[in-house]
Amino acid sequence: MSSEPFANIVLDVAAVDPGERKLDVNVIARFYGHDFYRQLVDAQGKQVALPAKPVTETDYPRMQLTIFPGFFAEPVYVYIPISKMSSETEVQGSIKLDARPQAFPNDIYDLSAASATLELPAGMFYSTGDGTARLVSYLSFGIALSQGDRLVDWTVRPGYAISRTDKYFPQIADLGGSVRRPLDYTFSVYSVAAAPLLLGLAAAVESRRRFRETSRAAPSLELAASLLALLTLRQVLVPTDIPGITRLDRLLAIEVVAIVALIVLPIALPVRSPSGARS
Protein backbone atom coordinates (compact mmCIF):
# COMPACT_ATOMS: atom_id res chain seq x y z
CA MET A 1 0.00 0.00 0.00
CA SER A 2 1.18 3.55 -0.67
CA SER A 3 3.09 5.17 2.17
CA GLU A 4 0.85 8.22 1.89
CA PRO A 5 -2.52 7.94 3.67
CA PHE A 6 -5.60 8.04 1.48
CA ALA A 7 -7.57 10.17 3.93
CA ASN A 8 -7.16 12.53 6.83
CA ILE A 9 -9.73 12.39 9.65
CA VAL A 10 -10.12 15.32 12.04
CA LEU A 11 -12.11 14.89 15.25
CA ASP A 12 -13.09 18.47 16.04
CA VAL A 13 -14.30 18.54 19.66
CA ALA A 14 -17.49 20.62 19.79
CA ALA A 15 -18.72 19.89 23.34
CA VAL A 16 -17.95 17.86 26.46
CA ASP A 17 -20.68 16.07 28.41
CA PRO A 18 -19.25 15.11 31.83
CA GLY A 19 -22.53 13.51 32.94
CA GLU A 20 -22.52 11.08 30.02
CA ARG A 21 -18.70 10.94 29.95
CA LYS A 22 -18.59 11.69 26.24
CA LEU A 23 -17.18 14.07 23.67
CA ASP A 24 -19.37 15.45 20.91
CA VAL A 25 -17.23 15.78 17.80
CA ASN A 26 -17.49 16.97 14.24
CA VAL A 27 -15.82 14.29 12.13
CA ILE A 28 -14.20 15.90 9.10
CA ALA A 29 -12.92 13.47 6.46
CA ARG A 30 -10.61 14.82 3.77
CA PHE A 31 -9.59 12.59 0.87
CA TYR A 32 -6.44 13.23 -1.10
CA GLY A 33 -7.42 13.85 -4.70
CA HIS A 34 -10.87 14.67 -6.05
CA ASP A 35 -10.98 11.36 -7.93
CA PHE A 36 -10.87 9.18 -4.82
CA TYR A 37 -14.23 7.65 -5.67
CA ARG A 38 -12.94 6.62 -9.13
CA GLN A 39 -10.62 4.11 -7.47
CA LEU A 40 -13.49 2.31 -5.76
CA VAL A 41 -14.15 -1.11 -7.29
CA ASP A 42 -16.01 -4.32 -6.55
CA ALA A 43 -14.44 -7.71 -5.86
CA GLN A 44 -13.90 -8.25 -9.60
CA GLY A 45 -12.03 -4.97 -9.96
CA LYS A 46 -14.82 -3.15 -11.79
CA GLN A 47 -15.41 0.49 -10.92
CA VAL A 48 -18.29 1.06 -8.52
CA ALA A 49 -20.84 3.63 -9.63
CA LEU A 50 -22.01 5.77 -6.74
CA PRO A 51 -25.77 6.33 -6.68
CA ALA A 52 -27.11 9.62 -8.03
CA LYS A 53 -28.95 10.69 -4.89
CA PRO A 54 -28.28 12.85 -1.84
CA VAL A 55 -25.62 11.58 0.54
CA THR A 56 -28.13 12.09 3.36
CA GLU A 57 -30.15 9.08 2.21
CA THR A 58 -29.89 6.22 4.69
CA ASP A 59 -28.85 3.66 2.06
CA TYR A 60 -26.11 5.83 0.55
CA PRO A 61 -22.68 4.08 0.64
CA ARG A 62 -20.74 5.02 3.76
CA MET A 63 -17.35 4.20 5.13
CA GLN A 64 -17.18 3.05 8.73
CA LEU A 65 -14.86 4.89 11.08
CA THR A 66 -14.51 2.73 14.18
CA ILE A 67 -13.07 4.41 17.26
CA PHE A 68 -11.91 2.29 20.18
CA PRO A 69 -11.80 4.84 23.07
CA GLY A 70 -10.01 2.54 25.50
CA PHE A 71 -9.54 -1.00 26.69
CA PHE A 72 -12.91 -1.25 28.45
CA ALA A 73 -14.99 1.32 26.55
CA GLU A 74 -17.47 0.36 23.86
CA PRO A 75 -16.40 1.02 20.24
CA VAL A 76 -17.89 4.07 18.53
CA TYR A 77 -19.07 3.82 14.93
CA VAL A 78 -19.21 6.87 12.66
CA TYR A 79 -20.49 6.45 9.11
CA ILE A 80 -18.97 8.78 6.52
CA PRO A 81 -20.70 9.08 3.13
CA ILE A 82 -18.51 8.69 0.04
CA SER A 83 -19.12 11.82 -1.99
CA LYS A 84 -18.03 12.28 -5.60
CA MET A 85 -18.88 15.99 -5.43
CA SER A 86 -16.32 16.98 -2.81
CA SER A 87 -13.06 15.72 -1.34
CA GLU A 88 -14.23 16.72 2.17
CA THR A 89 -17.13 15.33 4.17
CA GLU A 90 -18.33 16.31 7.65
CA VAL A 91 -20.58 14.33 9.99
CA GLN A 92 -21.31 14.41 13.73
CA GLY A 93 -20.52 11.77 16.30
CA SER A 94 -20.05 11.15 20.03
CA ILE A 95 -17.20 9.35 21.76
CA LYS A 96 -18.00 7.81 25.12
CA LEU A 97 -14.98 7.55 27.39
CA ASP A 98 -13.95 5.82 30.59
CA ALA A 99 -13.47 9.18 32.34
CA ARG A 100 -13.70 10.45 35.94
CA PRO A 101 -15.72 13.69 36.02
CA GLN A 102 -15.68 13.50 39.84
CA ALA A 103 -12.08 14.76 39.68
CA PHE A 104 -13.47 18.24 38.89
CA PRO A 105 -11.87 20.73 38.39
CA ASN A 106 -9.01 18.43 37.38
CA ASP A 107 -11.18 16.09 35.30
CA ILE A 108 -9.54 14.81 32.11
CA TYR A 109 -11.15 13.11 29.14
CA ASP A 110 -8.25 11.10 27.81
CA LEU A 111 -7.80 9.53 24.39
CA SER A 112 -4.22 8.37 24.90
CA ALA A 113 -5.37 4.73 24.70
CA ALA A 114 -7.77 5.32 21.78
CA SER A 115 -7.35 3.82 18.32
CA ALA A 116 -9.35 3.87 15.10
CA THR A 117 -9.88 2.07 11.80
CA LEU A 118 -11.41 3.24 8.50
CA GLU A 119 -13.24 0.60 6.46
CA LEU A 120 -15.07 0.76 3.13
CA PRO A 121 -18.64 -0.59 2.81
CA ALA A 122 -19.08 -4.33 2.36
CA GLY A 123 -18.30 -5.43 -1.19
CA MET A 124 -16.40 -2.24 -2.00
CA PHE A 125 -12.64 -1.98 -2.32
CA TYR A 126 -10.02 0.61 -3.12
CA SER A 127 -7.67 -0.09 -6.02
CA THR A 128 -4.29 1.12 -4.81
CA GLY A 129 -2.95 1.77 -8.30
CA ASP A 130 0.56 0.82 -7.23
CA GLY A 131 1.11 -1.57 -10.12
CA THR A 132 0.01 -4.66 -8.23
CA ALA A 133 -3.75 -4.23 -8.76
CA ARG A 134 -4.15 -4.73 -5.03
CA LEU A 135 -7.63 -4.24 -3.58
CA VAL A 136 -8.04 -3.13 0.03
CA SER A 137 -11.08 -2.59 2.24
CA TYR A 138 -9.25 -0.92 5.15
CA LEU A 139 -7.82 2.45 4.14
CA SER A 140 -4.63 4.02 5.39
CA PHE A 141 -5.41 7.36 7.02
CA GLY A 142 -4.23 10.02 9.39
CA ILE A 143 -6.38 11.02 12.36
CA ALA A 144 -6.17 14.07 14.60
CA LEU A 145 -7.93 15.53 17.64
CA SER A 146 -8.56 19.29 17.51
CA GLN A 147 -10.49 21.97 19.39
CA GLY A 148 -13.72 23.36 17.97
CA ASP A 149 -14.24 27.12 17.72
CA ARG A 150 -17.21 27.05 20.10
CA LEU A 151 -15.63 24.91 22.79
CA VAL A 152 -15.27 27.05 25.93
CA ASP A 153 -13.89 26.29 29.41
CA TRP A 154 -11.94 23.40 27.90
CA THR A 155 -8.61 22.95 26.20
CA VAL A 156 -7.72 20.17 23.76
CA ARG A 157 -4.26 18.71 23.79
CA PRO A 158 -4.12 17.56 20.18
CA GLY A 159 -2.99 14.18 19.03
CA TYR A 160 -2.17 12.98 15.54
CA ALA A 161 -1.32 9.56 14.17
CA ILE A 162 -1.02 7.77 10.84
CA SER A 163 -2.45 4.28 10.55
CA ARG A 164 -0.20 1.25 10.59
CA THR A 165 -0.52 -2.50 10.24
CA ASP A 166 -0.88 -4.76 13.27
CA LYS A 167 -1.86 -8.37 13.87
CA TYR A 168 -5.57 -7.58 14.20
CA PHE A 169 -6.21 -4.93 11.53
CA PRO A 170 -4.66 -4.18 8.13
CA GLN A 171 -4.70 -0.49 9.11
CA ILE A 172 -5.17 0.99 12.60
CA ALA A 173 -4.19 4.37 14.05
CA ASP A 174 -3.38 5.20 17.68
CA LEU A 175 -5.13 8.50 18.30
CA GLY A 176 -3.80 10.14 21.47
CA GLY A 177 -4.66 13.57 22.85
CA SER A 178 -6.94 14.65 25.69
CA VAL A 179 -9.53 17.22 26.71
CA ARG A 180 -9.16 19.00 30.03
CA ARG A 181 -9.99 22.27 31.72
CA PRO A 182 -7.58 25.18 31.14
CA LEU A 183 -5.09 25.93 33.89
CA ASP A 184 -6.48 29.42 34.46
CA TYR A 185 -10.00 27.98 34.88
CA THR A 186 -8.79 25.41 37.41
CA PHE A 187 -6.78 28.04 39.29
CA SER A 188 -9.76 30.39 39.46
CA VAL A 189 -12.01 27.64 40.86
CA TYR A 190 -9.53 26.76 43.61
CA SER A 191 -8.96 30.46 44.36
CA VAL A 192 -12.66 31.16 44.83
CA ALA A 193 -13.04 27.98 46.90
CA ALA A 194 -10.18 29.03 49.19
CA ALA A 195 -11.47 32.57 49.78
CA PRO A 196 -13.90 31.69 52.65
CA LEU A 197 -11.16 29.78 54.46
CA LEU A 198 -8.80 32.75 54.17
CA LEU A 199 -11.59 34.98 55.49
CA GLY A 200 -12.12 32.56 58.35
CA LEU A 201 -8.43 32.53 59.24
CA ALA A 202 -8.32 36.32 59.25
CA ALA A 203 -11.43 36.42 61.43
CA ALA A 204 -9.90 33.86 63.81
CA VAL A 205 -6.78 35.99 64.24
CA GLU A 206 -8.93 39.04 64.96
CA SER A 207 -11.07 37.04 67.40
CA ARG A 208 -7.96 35.86 69.18
CA ARG A 209 -6.85 39.46 69.61
CA ARG A 210 -10.24 40.38 71.07
CA PHE A 211 -10.10 37.42 73.46
CA ARG A 212 -6.82 38.63 74.86
CA GLU A 213 -8.27 42.10 75.42
CA THR A 214 -11.67 41.17 76.86
CA SER A 215 -11.22 37.59 78.12
CA ARG A 216 -14.52 36.78 76.47
CA ALA A 217 -14.73 34.13 73.78
CA ALA A 218 -17.42 34.74 71.19
CA PRO A 219 -17.65 33.75 67.54
CA SER A 220 -17.25 36.61 65.09
CA LEU A 221 -19.67 37.54 62.33
CA GLU A 222 -16.83 37.10 59.83
CA LEU A 223 -16.50 33.43 60.75
CA ALA A 224 -20.24 32.89 60.36
CA ALA A 225 -20.19 34.69 57.01
CA SER A 226 -17.34 32.55 55.71
CA LEU A 227 -19.21 29.41 56.73
CA LEU A 228 -22.36 30.54 54.93
CA ALA A 229 -20.30 31.38 51.85
CA LEU A 230 -18.90 27.85 51.76
CA LEU A 231 -22.37 26.33 51.91
CA THR A 232 -23.38 28.13 48.69
CA LEU A 233 -20.10 27.81 46.77
CA ARG A 234 -20.81 24.25 45.68
CA GLN A 235 -23.80 25.32 43.63
CA VAL A 236 -21.80 28.13 42.04
CA LEU A 237 -18.55 26.33 41.23
CA VAL A 238 -19.54 22.75 40.36
CA PRO A 239 -21.32 22.39 37.00
CA THR A 240 -24.73 20.77 37.25
CA ASP A 241 -23.83 18.09 34.69
CA ILE A 242 -21.16 16.55 36.92
CA PRO A 243 -22.63 13.70 38.99
CA GLY A 244 -21.61 12.58 42.47
CA ILE A 245 -19.10 13.96 44.94
CA THR A 246 -16.24 15.82 43.30
CA ARG A 247 -12.72 16.64 44.40
CA LEU A 248 -13.85 20.21 44.99
CA ASP A 249 -16.66 18.95 47.27
CA ARG A 250 -14.09 17.20 49.44
CA LEU A 251 -12.01 20.36 49.61
CA LEU A 252 -15.05 22.43 50.60
CA ALA A 253 -15.93 19.85 53.28
CA ILE A 254 -12.45 20.18 54.78
CA GLU A 255 -12.85 23.95 54.79
CA VAL A 256 -16.22 23.67 56.56
CA VAL A 257 -14.64 21.53 59.29
CA ALA A 258 -11.77 24.00 59.63
CA ILE A 259 -14.06 27.03 59.92
CA VAL A 260 -16.34 25.26 62.42
CA ALA A 261 -13.24 24.46 64.46
CA LEU A 262 -12.23 28.12 64.35
CA ILE A 263 -15.68 29.03 65.69
CA VAL A 264 -16.00 26.34 68.36
CA LEU A 265 -12.50 26.01 69.78
CA PRO A 266 -12.19 29.56 71.16
CA ILE A 267 -15.49 29.04 72.97
CA ALA A 268 -14.65 25.57 74.28
CA LEU A 269 -11.11 26.29 75.42
CA PRO A 270 -10.37 28.40 78.49
CA VAL A 271 -9.01 31.86 77.83
CA ARG A 272 -6.39 33.58 79.98
CA SER A 273 -7.32 36.95 81.41
CA PRO A 274 -4.91 39.86 81.03
CA SER A 275 -3.74 39.31 84.66
CA GLY A 276 -2.90 35.66 83.91
CA ALA A 277 -5.93 34.09 85.64
CA ARG A 278 -7.87 31.41 83.77
CA SER A 279 -11.55 32.09 83.10
Q: Would you state the pLDDT for residue 72?
A: 78
Q: How far apart are CA 148 and CA 151, in angstroms?
A: 5
pLDDT of residue 133: 58
Residue 86 has pLDDT above 60, yes or no: yes
User: Which amino acid does the sequence have at 167?
Assistant: K
Overall residue count recorded for the chain in this entry: 279
Per-residue confidence at 267, pLDDT binned at 50, 70, 90?
low
- Say what the pLDDT of residue 59 is: 85
Residue 171, pLDDT score: 94
Residue 68 banded pLDDT, cuts 50, 70, 90: very high
Q: Count CB-CB contacts under 10 A for residue 168.
A: 8
Give the domain ranges of the chain.
7-181, 184-268
Per-residue pLDDT tens digits for 181-220: 999 999 999 999 988 888 778 777 777 776 666 655 555 6
Cα radius of gyration rounded to whole Å, the chain: 30
Q: Give residue 16's pLDDT.
A: 96
pTM: 0.81
User: Which has more pLDDT, 275 or 144?
Assistant: 144
3-state secondary structure of 237: helix
